[in-house]
Amino acid sequence: MKFKIKKLLSSPPKTLALGFLMLILIGTILLSLPISMREKSSNIVLDAFFTSTSAVCVTGLIVQNTASHWTAFGKAVILMLIQVGGIGFMTVATSFFIFSGKRVSLRERLIIKEQFNSNQRSGIVRLSNRVIKYTVIIEVAGAILLSLYFVPKFGIRNGIIYSIFHSISAFCNAGFDILGNSLIGYNEAPIVIYTLSFLVILGGIGFSVLREVYEIRKFKKFSLHTKLVLQSTGVLLFIGFVLFILLEFNNGATIKNLSWFGKINATWFQAVVPRTAGFQSVNYSLVKDSTLLVTIILMFIGASPGGTGGGVKTTTIAVIVASVISVVKGSDDTEIFDRRIENNIIKKALAIFTVALLLVLIASFTITVLQPNIRFIDVLFEVTSAFGTVGLGVGVSDHLHVVGKLILCFIMYVGRLGPLTLLYTINIKQKHKSIRLAQDDVIVG
């Protein structure tokens, strides 16, 4: 038994996968307690498991209304799961190690490295400390700004609670809300819309990017990774903004009847949140199918590596696009910002994209077969939202049968870990060949 546990924890990806699974199970137990819910549901354990998975994987998909179903204790558990799931359980553990004077082992450093998807082997503990520091500063600042609106509206006690909860939920890209109807009705409250949207962006670009922006502050001196993250984030925000306002401008169920100020606020917010935070300033069950498709693409891309969001990541898509451009140009090398990208990185990007696409399509197909009464595009939207750990929904999750909900839970779990990390946990041993096989050609396209 001891040998099996040791073997299970033999690699950082396995430890990471098991750690998140343990967090989910602990959350499930706590949320299943009578003290956590106002009234019993028909599937207490399943609802608790789904909610715990969604919180740990910082997704935001729900099967029970967070504001009305869960008690103060239940909401506190959800918030704790969001925080630990967002910055990573090893980050929290490392801070306790340092505080207690315990030395962080090499194995623990490797797990942290895997958690942040970092290429650096040195300074990992220092990075972990910075993550805690940046998280506290940004979330406190966000809560203070939100309190300027929530305290006058809901009173001191509730206003402070709402401010803290939504600041943490936004920075961790979780999208859980305790307002009852997400951000619908807040399009004329710019301090709420823009505070939450910038918290989402800061959480989604990655902690290494935050460090470089804070310490270097000059774009030309940034690393290639940081340049790529900032540029791709800006491009996706612009595309999302333009397409959403064009597609929904005359939709009376979403933004048509809002003032110009409200239209701009709602559009900006919905350009930001598909990048893996599931707050809604409009009802997504009422948007056009074309808008759903655009949002599906944005959710699939997701946030950036090392951040609190999911998806295949902005840099993955940027590398694939650059590779396609190099093929069109007839160039032997893939170049970005006057730097050549190694073929191994391109292969990894293509592998991530392919595995993710297959997972989303297979899960969507399976749920559609099990419940043919639900439109395929709605199922695809919900599954992509789960994989991207976004949390935007069109009301599918709470209508799914047990198997459908478990499939969504699995997809959320994979989305939080990353598809390749999950494959690494299988640990398929590959023998290194001393002889390379003869090369041959295959006709493609």
Nearest alpha-carbon partner for 418 in 8, 90, 16, 9: 16
Nearest alpha-carbon partner for 405 in 418, 420, 393: 393
- Residue at 443 is within a domain: no
- Residue at 114 is within a domain: yes
- What tens digit of pLDDT does each residue of 174-188 get? 989 999 888 998 999
pLDDT at 113: 59
- Report whether pLDDT(56) > 70: yes
Distances in Å between the Cα of 215 and the Cα atoms of 39, 128, 219 are 50, 16, 11
- Residue at 433 is within a domain: no
Confidence class of residue 318 from pLDDT cuts 50, 70 and 90? very high
pLDDT at 3: 47
Q: Are 12 and 124 in contact (CB under 8 A)?
A: no
409 or 94, greater pLDDT: 409
- Residue at 189 is within a domain: yes
Confidence class of residue 15 from pLDDT cuts 50, 70 and 90? confident
pLDDT at 121: 56
Cα distance between residue 48 and residue 422, in whole Å? 23
Confidence class of residue 235 from pLDDT cuts 50, 70 and 90? very high
pLDDT at 108: 58
**Average pLDDT score over residue span 407-417:** 93
Question: How many beta carbons lie within 10 A of that of residue 135, not counting itself?
Answer: 22
- pLDDT exceeding 90 applies to what percent of the chain? 59
pLDDT at 214: 82
Q: Token pair for residue 426?
A: 């299988």
**Average pLDDT score over residue span 277-288:** 91
- Residue at 437 is within a domain: no
Using the structure block, give the residue that is written with the tokens 């009802």. 283
Q: Are 386 and 300 in contact (CB under 8 A)?
A: no
- Residue at 431 is within a domain: no
- pLDDT exceeding 70 applies to what percent of the chain? 87
Amino acid in position 243: L
Cα distance between residue 174 and residue 60, in whole Å? 5
407 or 332, greater pLDDT: 407
Q: Token pair for residue 264?
A: 């701009």
Cα distance between residue 42 and residue 127, in whole Å? 44
- Residue-range definition of the domain harbouring residue 355: 7-276+285-425
**Average pLDDT score over residue span 93-117:** 57
- Residue at 435 is within a domain: no
- Report whether pLDDT(401) > 50: yes
Is 253 strand, coil or helix? coil
Q: Are 408 and 370 in contact (CB under 8 A)?
A: no
- Mean pLDDT check: name the lowest of 113-122, 225-234, 345-354: 113-122
- What tens digit of pLDDT does each residue of 337-361 get? 888 888 888 998 999 999 999 999 9
**Average pLDDT score over residue span 380-397:** 93
- Report whether pLDDT(432) > 70: no
Please report which residue ranges of 306-401 form alpha helices under DSSP H: 314-329, 343-370, 376-387
Q: What total of structural domains would you count in the chain?
A: 1
- What tens digit of pLDDT does each residue of 199-223 get? 999 988 888 888 888 888 787 888 8
Interior/surface letters 343-357, b for 16+ CB within 10 angstroms, e for the rest: eeebeebeebbebbe
pTM score, two decimals? Answer: 0.89
- Report whether pLDDT(90) > 80: no
278 or 318, greater pLDDT: 318
- Residue at 243 is within a domain: yes
- Report whether pLDDT(194) > 90: yes
- Report whether pLDDT(237) > 80: yes
Mean pLDDT of the chain: 86
Confidence class of residue 106 from pLDDT cuts 50, 70 and 90? low
- Report whether pLDDT(62) > 80: yes
pLDDT at 337: 85
